[in-house]
Amino acid sequence: MWVFLGSDCMFFASLIGTYLIYKGSGVLHPGPADVFDIPTTSISTFVLLMSSMSMVFAYAYLVRDNIKAFRIWMISTMIMGSTFLGFQVYEFSYFYFHDHLSPQTNLFGTTFYALTGTHGIHVTIGVIWLGIIFYSSLFRNTVTSKTNLDLDLAALYWHFVDIVWIVIFAVVYLFGTFKGFPSS
């Protein structure tokens, strides 16, 4: 898992680097300052960060053999991950239909959708993985404090995805809307 996360970290670093290099190249309208809604994205970021906390609670309750509390916190984590994805779908739709920003519009659009879309795919995989673990705990009784390697790996992956989003949010959304930030 550590090798996978290391390679995924480099993959995201290359996507972020590509975004920073190309976001201000070519046709500049619409650009980051024209489309980003920082308050809405801040809410979705908060939801994703809280999902990390609920993942910690789920893990802690499983270690204590409290399967009922584990399931509650797993569902909470999946709901928050799905809510984050809903925010992302809303944002993509709004950018596309209202701001006329698509991956083909300009290099900012291409790199923005590639970076945030790749992250969204990772969150989707995480939600599905957590759903499989939840299903296994509910119907197969194969999730216990003694057999929680799958949850260990899923939790590690989930926290990684959250950390990646913190970097994306800071670099793309916060710093990216300031004039003069790389390539503006």
Average pLDDT, stretch 17-40?
80
Give the model's confidence band at 181: pLDDT under 50 very low, under 70 low, under 90 confident, else very high. low
Can you tell me whether residue 35 is helix, strand or coil? helix
Domain 52-184 CATH class label? mainly alpha
174 or 79, higher pLDDT: 79
The whole model's pTM is what?
A: 0.89
pLDDT in tens, 32-87: 878 888 999 999 999 999 999 999 999 999 999 899 999 999 999 999 999 999 99
Checking if the pLDDT of 178 tops 70, the result is no
Instruction: Kindly give, in sequence order, each residue whose CB lies less than 8 Å from that of residue 9, ignoring residues fewer than 6 positions away.
Output: 160, 164
Average pLDDT in the chain: 89
183 or 2, higher pLDDT: 2
More confident residue, 61 or 183: 61
pLDDT of residue 109: 87
Query: Whole-angstrom Cα distance, residue 140 to residue 49?
Result: 30
Buried b (16+ CB within 10 A) or exposed e, 19-47: bbebbbeeebebbbeebbeeeebeebbeb
Query: DSSP 3-state assignment of 47?
Result: helix
Residue 184 reports pLDDT greater than 60 = no
Give the whole-angstrom CA distance, residue 102 versus residue 49. 27
Cβ(157)–Cβ(126) below 8 Å: yes
Q: Which CA distances in Å does 140 have to 47, 56, 135?
A: 30, 23, 7
